[in-house]
Every structure is written in structure tokens, then in C-alpha cells.
Structure 1
């Protein structure tokens, strides 16, 4: 099934759609009437989800230029792009930085976002009312100790998105950056290489956001009329005051 089979339907592409915010967003946009194209490396997961929501699943590795090119070539139309693919590795001070972890974070969060966004710009413009939603992080706005690899990558991803906002003024493309604080997903599990105890400890003493909270915001953003451009949204749990510390544990 091609992405244009849903007659007169708007098409939303969601990257990193195999779990967490991406999966929740795909479900919500499908409920909103979008034909959703799910992109991720874990094809088994996105295929199951695509069957559930009546969407389309396509393998996508944003760190692989050839994968991105194949993904884009299979799309006839794109109205909304949700740049959600990304992640963190490790929580080491700069003095102990793992360069491979840094490279992965920059390649995934920054270059990956650049690849898919650049490649889809013509289709977004052709839609007549394109929307790019980039999920960065409060780490794109603040620095915190032991997080320089991730915060620097997220700062760069945010600057990429904000620069594009300036460059696309006058075109039929809107851009929204969503900067979540702590959201309980597989994010921390990936960061700590599958160490469940470490991942669970991240959320001790507070009630984090959940993926559906961010999906609700993305849904709202995508439902605004074309004259409305929601520039940036910062959202945190009630119990979190900054990217690193929260009101309960200090």
C-alpha cells in the first residue's frame, strides 16, 4: 500500500516509531485521520503497529544515508514530518567521554534529523501546507553535568530546526519544536545499555511524563490551521524544574 492510497488523506511520517513517543504519536495521528507512515529499524514492531492503526511500516535507519533515500523514494506525499528518532548513550563526565557514544548521539540526533528533513522538504512544500515537528528535549535548552554528549547533540538538533524555521519563511512549511523533560519510555534503558535498575532509578522520587502526553501535544500542533505556527513548546513533569534536578530529590 502506498502512502497516497488513503484518498485525499493527509500523510504523516513518524520516525523512531517503534516505541515510546513515536509509537504513541503514530496511534494518535491515525486517530486524527492521518495516513501514518512509520519509520524505524525494528520492523517487526512497526509492522504490528501499522496493522493496528491502518498505516504503513517502512524500515528506516536515520544514520544510514541509503536507508533514508529508499524510505523517501517510496513516499508519494508528505504533509507532516515528526522527527522523533534519537536517543542518548551513557552518562559520563567529559573527562571520561566515550567517543563512540558521542558519535552515535550526534549521528542519530543531528545528522539523522538533517538527512530525513532535507530529503522530505520538497514533498512537504508540494503538500501546500507542510509541517515539521522536531522532538528535541529540555536538554536542547540547558546543560547538565555528565550529559555533555547528549545535551550538545540536542542543542545542535534544536539549532538545526530553529535555523530552518528562519530559512523557510515565505514557504508553505511550518515548524514546531517540542522540548520534553523526563518522559518514561525506553529512553533510559537505551542510555544505560539495557540496565533496568539504572533506568528505573532515573524516575525515582517523581512522576514523569508518559509518551501519550507528548503525543497529545503533537496531535494538537498538527491540527492547527495553516496560519498558526506553534514555534516551540517546553513541557516537563510537575515534579521537574530543570533538565538535571527536580523538586523532590533536589
Structure 2
């Protein structure tokens, strides 16, 4: 029986992924900040679950969590680095520096800290799958994305470099990079303004959590001789837009 560790499992992509893996017979280690939600989730699943509260911005807590796993839960076959967030939508010059630091500490520092702790386990086993949840924001910057885009670009490049280091170990690394997706993500980004967040999705037919869970499960279960490097996905209603061109009429007049 394989064991999957899923971060940010209390809602959204993480919760949907936990439900799908449980239906397919995986034991689950589920972590998130909201332990109450994890306990409720675990009670609805038919597979063994180990749940713990974990703040991904606290590197010492991550260290203690991995070191403290019971022996029967210490062999991890799949790591889904799903925990992450965006905060704010304004231009960089108006951003809250605390929001920037929180995104960096969660999306980058927390992800690499947990990955660093799990890697020796997988290398020793000569097998394992690390699936990092990135974003199209890591490939396609947009106004207001500033640090969020930067953190997801890090996830993209870190995953590729990690894959290069792990060649020959049997450990696979993939990123999945969703576009417009309707979860609690935007509510968090809007600092709790649900009406504003909901406006992003009206009539857009966005990605839903179960869509991403299906893809994460597929990434973890392609044949062992294959590694899907990265998978970028948008809803059909979303595509790339034109590049922004700012025209300065005063400069044109002076010319």
C-alpha cells in the first residue's frame, strides 16, 4: 500500500486530491494549518490517514513534523506540494510587504524545506514522485502578480533542476501549473472579499479542484519509466492576451 503526503489538504486542490487518492487505495498523510478541517476530511475517507496541523512558513515545524512521523508512516511514495497562496492584486509599488514575505515563505521556503526532508526517504527507496503545484503565473506574468508570479516561476525552475539532480535515482519530479481555478484561492488573495473573488469566475467555466486532482493522480501513476516534466492547464475560456503597450501622448507631441 502506497503512502501519499499532501500539503494544503484542508481545501481546494489538496482536499480533492486526498479524496481521489483514498478512493484508489492510498494511505494519506494530510497537513494544513486548519487541523479541524483535516480531521473532518479524514473521517470521510475509507483509508488510513495521519493528519497534522502544519504551518508551511515555519521551517522548524516542518523539520519536527517529518522527524516525528511514526515509523509506520515514514516511507513516503508520493509528495504533493500543494500548499501555497497569493495575497493582493495591486501593483508592486502599493503592495503590502508582509504579503510578499508570506508568499515567499509559503510558496518557496516551505516547499523547498519539506522537499529537502523527504528527498532522502525517496532516494533510499529508489522510487517516489514529487508533484509540485505551480501556476501559469510562473510562465506568464500579469499586472498585480509581482511576487506571486515570481514564487511560481521559482517552483517551475526548481522542479526542473531537482529533476536533473535526481536522474537515475528512480525519483520523479513533475509540476502542474493551473490557470483560472475556482477554489478558496481567490478569497484568500482578496483578503476574504468573497464577492470580489466570485466575480473572477462568473460565466468563465473555470478549472475546479477535481480537475486538478485527476491530473495529479495521473502524474503519480504514469509508468515508472516516464517522467512528466510539467503540465500547464487552463480552462478553455482562458488564453493568452496581447502584450501591454503604454502610450505616452505627451512624448509623441514633443516629438
Q: Same fold (TM over 0.5)?
A: yes
Aligned length: 237
> Which residue in 1 is equivalent to 2:36?
44
> Which residue in 2 is equivalent to 1:61?
55
> Which residue in 1 is equivalent to 2:144?
146
TM-score normalized by structure 2?
0.89
Tell me the CA shift for residue 70 of structure 1: 2.1
> 2:101 is matched with which residue: 92, 98, 103?
103
CA distance in 1, matches of 2:203, 2:110: 34
> Which residue in 1 is equivalent to 2:9?
17
CA distance in 2, matches of 1:242, 1:56: 41
Alpha carbons 1:181, 1:243 under 8 Å: kept = no
Tell me the CA shift for residue 128 of structure 1: 2.6
Matched, 1:157 2:155: yes
> Which residue in 2 is equivalent to 1:202?
200
Tell me the CA shift for residue 227 of structure 1: 0.5
CA distance in 1, matches of 2:85, 2:139: 16
CA distance in 2, matches of 1:210, 1:184: 6
Tell me the CA shift for residue 243 of structure 1: 8.3
- Once the two structures are superposed, the pairs formed by residues 80-95 of structure 1 within 5 Å of their partners are 80-95=78-93
> Which residue in 2 is equivalent to 1:135?
133
Alpha carbons 1:93, 1:145 under 8 Å: kept = yes
Deviations 1:77-101 (A, max 9, x none): 1000000000000001022121111
Deviations 1:2-26 (A, max 9, x none): xxxxxxx111000000000000001
- Once the two structures are superposed, the pairs formed by residues 187-226 of structure 1 within 5 Å of their partners are 187-226=185-224
Larger Rg: 2
> Which residue in 1 is equivalent to 2:230?
232
Residue 239 of structure 2 aligns to a residue whose secondary structure is coil
Question: Cα distance 1:214–1:82, how it changes in 2: closer, same or farther (>3 A)?
Answer: same
Question: Cα distance 1:104–1:244, how it changes in 2: closer, same or farther (>3 A)?
Answer: farther
Moved more, 236-245 or 210-219: 236-245
> Which residue in 1 is equivalent to 2:113?
115
CA distance in 2, matches of 1:124, 1:212: 27
Residue 55 of structure 2 aligns to a residue whose secondary structure is coil
> Which residue in 1 is equivalent to 2:25?
33
CA distance in 1, matches of 2:174, 2:187: 27
Unaligned ranges ≥5, structure 2: 244-255
